Copies of this chain bind each other. A is one copy, B any other.
């Protein structure tokens, strides 16, 4: 589970969509203005969200994006995964020369990072997009 501002932007943008569900397709320009993220950067993010079937698009003037499923069926983990691809950055598999190569002896911390990764994953698994939008209303 990789956590960067790109992931945060993606969640913000998705929450923005979820908050404006009745307005027809939302253009990236609108999201850009509301969330203060450049359109070009949002484009990159939305291509990935679309690939993972979290949003659908309509092109041309008055085009934009809509949630592909109800906000209650989209988990935060789905969003993070969509834009940050890589599943694990915390453990040792990344640099196979150094540290833990998983062959002879696992490095001492191997299990620890694995467990943390699961921990984080479960956290994002529990929270749905709908929950964020509700919270915002408080």
A residues in contact (CB < 8 Å) with B: 3, 5, 8, 11-12, 15-16, 19, 35-37, 76, 90, 92, 95, 98-99, 107-109, 111-113, 115-116, 119-120, 123-124, 127, 132-133, 135-136
The answer to whether B8 touches A113, judged by C-beta atoms less than 8 angstroms apart, is yes
**Least CB distance, A54 to chain B, in whole angstroms:** 16
Complex CA gap A37/B115 in Å reads: 23
Chain A to chain B: the 9 pairs with minimum beta-carbon distance, closest first: A15-B108, A11-B109, A119-B123, A108-B136, A12-B109, A36-B98, A12-B108, A8-B109, A108-B132
The chain B residue with its CB closest to the CB of A107 is B12
The answer to whether A109 touches B36, judged by C-beta atoms less than 8 angstroms apart, is no
